[in-house]
């Protein structure tokens, strides 16, 4: 039978762990607000810490750097969970999105476009922050390239769910992946939704129409 002091120690440890998780969550939420209002470069760790109600030292202990908060902000937006990196959530996101297609090429394109719309709707700010910060920060630029590669890998998994026999004659799988990666991109979202005032429904339908015409055999 455990001694009372052992139980008390365990409870204190559990309380401390829960407190650290909550502190990280508050800091991540505060960083998202600060980034949205000021952009990455103009955001400061002192304001982020103040928004979260902690000290700057606590911010560094919890996250290590402003850049780490930026990556965590985008990961949380993409995965849909503040505790799950996008790369870890990706297999489940793809499986859930593409499972109902049952080998139907048009349905696969529609489900691809819908998943992309959901991800981009959540992560549009994070993509824009990364793109802008990468222009003048070498470490963020390296992260940006890694994220672009991960996005390409995502489309590779999605496009492989389209039956090969349904692709346009002469189109290779690699070309189909590159085409989907380019069409369903943060850049087209920025152009059509942010600049041309497309609704999200209209934008999703545009992606379906363009990818269907570009990828699928007529008929």
Tell me the Cα Rg of the chain: 21
Within 13 Å and on the Cβ side, how many CA atoms surround 6? Answer: 3
- Co-location of 51 and 125 in the same domain: no
Q: Which residues pair with 216 in a beta bridge?
A: 167
Between 219 and 126, residue with greater pLDDT = 126
pLDDT digits (tens, 9 = 90+) for 29-50: 999 999 999 999 999 999 999 9
How many domains does one find in the chain? 2
Average pLDDT, the chain: 88
> What CATH number corresponds to the domain at position 7?
1.10.10.60
pLDDT, tens digit (0-9, with 9 covering 90-100), for 186-205: 899 999 999 999 999 999 99
Residue at which a domain ends, from 64, 83, 111: 64
Residues 18 and 108 in one domain: no
**Amino acid 14: pLDDT:** 42
CATH code of 155's domain? 1.10.357.10
Compute the distance between CA of residue 183 and CA of residue 21 in angstroms, rounded to an integer: 38
Residues 198 and 93 in one domain: yes
Distance CA 104, CA 106 (A): 6
On whether both 139 and 177 belong to a single domain, the answer is yes
| Co-location of 128 and 77 in the same domain | yes
By residue range, what is the domain housing residue 54?
1-64
pLDDT, tens digit, 9 for 90 and up, residues 45-90: 999 999 999 999 999 999 999 999 999 998 888 888 777 888 888 7
pLDDT surpasses 70 at 172: yes
Round to whole Å and give the CA distance between 30 and 47.
9
* Of 23-27, 143-147, 175-179, minimum mean pLDDT range: 143-147
Which letter, b or e, does each residue of 91-130 get, where b requires 16 or more Cβ atoms within 10 Å of its Cβ? eebbeebbeebeeebeebbbbbbebbbbbbeebbebbbbb
pTM for the model: 0.79
Q: Is the same domain home to 53 and 38? A: yes
Q: Which candidate, 159, 162, 204, places its Cα nearest to that of 177?
A: 159
């Amino acid at each position: 039978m455990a001694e009372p002091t052992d139980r008390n120690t365990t409870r204190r440890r559990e309380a401390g762990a829960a407190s650290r998780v909550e502190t990280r969550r508050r800091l991540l939420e505060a960083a998202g607000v600060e980034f949205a209002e000021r952009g990455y470069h103009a955001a400061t760790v002192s304001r982020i810490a103040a928004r979260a109600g902690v000290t700057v030292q606590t911010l560094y202990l919890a996250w290590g750097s402003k850049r780490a908060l930026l990556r965590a902000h985008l990961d949380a937006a993409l995965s849909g969970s503040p505790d799950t990196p996008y790369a870890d959530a990706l297999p489940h996101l793809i499986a859930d999105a593409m499972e109902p297609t049952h080998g139907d090429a048009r349905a696969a394109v529609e489900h691809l476009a819908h998943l992309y719309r959901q991800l981009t709707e959540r992560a549009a700010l994070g993509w824009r922050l990364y793109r802008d910060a990468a222009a003048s920060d070498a470490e963020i630029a390296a992260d940006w390239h890694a994220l672009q590669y991960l996005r390409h890998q995502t489309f590779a998994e999605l496009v492989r769910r389209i039956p090969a026999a349904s692709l346009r004659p002469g189109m290779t799988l690699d070309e189909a992946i590159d085409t989907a990666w380019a069409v369903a991109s943060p850049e087209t979202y920025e152009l059509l939704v942010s600049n041309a005032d497309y609704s999200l429904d209209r934008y999703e339908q545009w992606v379906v129409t363009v990818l269907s015409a570009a990828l699928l055999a007529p008929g």
